[in-house]
Structure formats: structure tokens, C-alpha cells
Amino acid sequence: MIALAVLAVAAGVLLLVGGAEALVRGASRLAAAVGISPVVVGLTVVAFGTSAPELAVSVRAALAGSGEVAIGNAVGSNIFNVLAILGVSALFGGLVVHQRLVRLDVPLVVAVTGVVWWLARDQSLGVGDGIVLLAGIVAYTAVSYLVGRDEPETVGAEYDEAFGQSPTVARRTWPAAVGLVLVGLAVLVGGAQLLVVGATDLARALGVSDLIIGLTVVAVGTSLPELATSVVAARKGERDIAVGNVVGSNLFNLLAVLGAAALAGGGIDVPAAVIATDLPVALLVALVALPALAIGLTLQPWEGALLIAGYLGYVAYLVVGATGGGAGRMALFAGLGLLAVVLVIAGVLLDRRRR
């Protein structure tokens, strides 16, 4: 039973990663064909495309009545994105952001996380809440398009190198791009089905809740495209892209993934544990790392290691709690709070040294 569940989860993750890759490539080419700038492609098409697995899994889970997997996947992915993906990306020479739009989006991640927490205070996200969240992602995309066109030449060059394509080539390849999008969507649907079924069976076999599996196994599995995209960008020195991918993906998870899941499931229940622990953790980790990037400070490699340690601490809290160990919630918050203090002090000292 466990072996089959693990096999289904692994196969689902592989299909999700492959489907997301095909979707991103096809959508990027289509965007280039209609004249959308590489900056906007990177901030919207790529960031949202790498979050397509979260969307597919959460909607499928909501339709199947597994609201815990749907909410756990979205919230867990955001925690993983900030602590693990930014942490790993920072190991490759550090991270610093010069892009105006990302710096504007960083406070937005914090604000939207707070809004989702407030909407879920009654232990549910209803259809009306889903409509509000989806309206938010539409507005965000429109603003990204307008603001992204005015980015400085240096930022535009970075995105052009990563996502640029000549108009002639784009027009010539648009039929293949449509095919890639369709194939990517089909593979994503199949992968989501396998992952949800496998994760649910695994939770039952191990005697843990669907929520814990959603926050860990499913969340990490669906975040692999973001991890790959950000690490590759960081290794190439394209640090705006590495951070922009995480910021855009987090907003997509909160607004589009949770909004679509709420609509698809006719509303989804939010476990009390998510309101008491996981949403506050998501808000806290956004306050830990993202503000430093918003004001143009660097995340050094050693700070990236601290972020990774913070994620391991969060997972340890979930595991100990699931096995009846009763690890204290306050200890988790205190640890993340200490991490925030260390990063803020380091950022202030570095800023003074620069001056």
C-alpha cells in the first residue's frame, strides 16, 4: 500500500514538473509572438506557469473533497518558496534585487497573506472569497503588464537574455507553442490526479492527516518547478529573475490557486491548525526574508543557509506534532522571529557599510 502510494506521488511529481516545463515554454513563445516584453513574460507567464502544478493539484483536491490537501498545498508551497527556494538560491553568491516591480510586489505578498488569513478566520474559504481572490490576480497581472514595460534597461536586458525571442522566430513557432501549452496542460492534469490520490493514500497508510501531507510532500513536489527556475537563474547571476519567480509564484498561490480551489469545490474548509499555525508562519516567513530584498539589500549565502534551517525547523515541528510529540507552537514562532532579527541586523550593518 505504502509502496504504491509513494510510486503514485513520485510519478505525479515527475508529470507535474514536465507539464509545467512544457506549459512555460509554450506560453513564453506565445507571449513573445504577440509582442509581450520579456520582463512581463518573466514576471507573469513564467512565475505563474511554474505555479501551474499547485493550481492543478489544489483544484483537483477541492473537486475530490480533500480541502486539507488544497489549502495545505498552497500555504506549504509559499513557506517552501521563501525559506527553501530563496535560501538555496542565495547560496549561489547571494541575492540582491534592483527591480522596482519586485520591490513593490514584496509588501503585496505580506498584505495578501494577511488578507487570506483574515478571510479564513471562519475556517472556510467560500465561493465569494474565491471570487475576490481571483479578481486580485487579474488586477495584479494588469498592473504587472503596465509597470513592467517601464523597467530600466539593465533589468530588461536580464529578462531579454532569459526569455527574449525575435519576433520573426516567435511568429514562425507559434503553432508549436500552442501544442506545447496543450500538452503541458494535459500532463499537469494527469500528474495532479496521481499526486492527489497517492498523497491521500500515503497519509492514510502512515496515519497522518491529509493536511500534513499537503503542507510537506505535496507542497514540495509542486514547488519543484519554482526551485529549478530560481536556482538556474541565480547560478547565471539573474537574481531579479530568481526573486521575481518566488514573489510572483507566492502571489499566484494565494490569489489564483486558493481562489480557483474555493470556486471548484464550492468553498473549502480551512482546518483550525492552518489558521493557528501555518498561515501565521507563512506571514512570518514573508516578513523574515522579503522586506530585506524589497529595500535592495543582499541575502548572503550564510543567510540563505539560515533560511534553509528555518524550513527544516518548520518541517520538524510538523513531523513531531503529527507523531504526538507536541512541539510548542511558540517555540516555532520564536525561532522564526529570531531568524528575522538576525537578517534585519545583518541587513542594516551591510547597508551602513555600503554608505
Indicate the domain borders of the chain: 2-354
The pLDDT value given to residue 229? 73
The pLDDT value given to residue 303? 81
Give the number of other CB atoms < 10 A from CB of residue 349: 10
Pick the CATH number of 2-354 from 3.10.20.520, 3.90.380.10, 3.40.190.10, 1.20.1420.30: 1.20.1420.30
- Is the pLDDT higher at 81 or at 243? 81
pLDDT in tens, 234-289: 776 666 667 777 888 899 999 999 999 999 989 899 988 889 889 999 998 888 77
pLDDT at 79 over 70: yes
The pLDDT value given to residue 152? 62
The pLDDT value given to residue 134? 95
How confident is the model over 63-71, as a mean pLDDT? 85
The pLDDT value given to residue 136? 94
pLDDT in tens, 188-226: 777 777 777 777 777 777 777 778 878 887 888 778 777
- Decide: 57 and 9 in contact? Cβ < 8 Å: no
Average confidence score pLDDT of the chain: 77
Nine-digit cell string for 19? 507539464
Confidence grade of residue 158 (pLDDT, cut at 50, 70, 90): low
DSSP output for 31-75: HHHTT--HHHIIIIIIHHHHTHHHHHHHHHHHHTT-HHHHHHHHH
Q: Report the alpha-carbon distance of residue 48 to residue 83 in Å, rounded.
A: 19
Give start and end residues of each alpha helix (H) in 223-322.
Answer: 224-235, 239-252, 258-264, 272-273, 279-294, 301-322
Half-sphere exposure of 187 (CA within 13 A, CB side): 19
Nine-digit cell string for 336? 522564526
The count of residues in the chain is: 355
Q: Which strand (E) or helix (H) includes residue 125?
A: strand 124-125
Name the residue with cell 502510494. Answer: 5
Q: Minimum mean pLDDT among 133-142, 144-153, 165-174: which range?
A: 165-174
Return the bridge partners of 95, or none: 299
pLDDT in tens, 288-336: 776 666 555 667 788 888 889 989 988 888 877 755 545 577 788 888 8
| pTM, two decimal places | 0.82
The pLDDT value given to residue 141? 82
pLDDT at 162 over 60: no
Most confident of 51-60, 150-159, 344-353: 51-60
pLDDT at 116 over 90: yes
pLDDT at 104 over 60: yes
To the nearest 10°, the Cα dihedral for 181, 4, 220, 209? 120
- Is the pLDDT higher at 105 or at 306? 306
Confidence grade of residue 33 (pLDDT, cut at 50, 70, 90): low
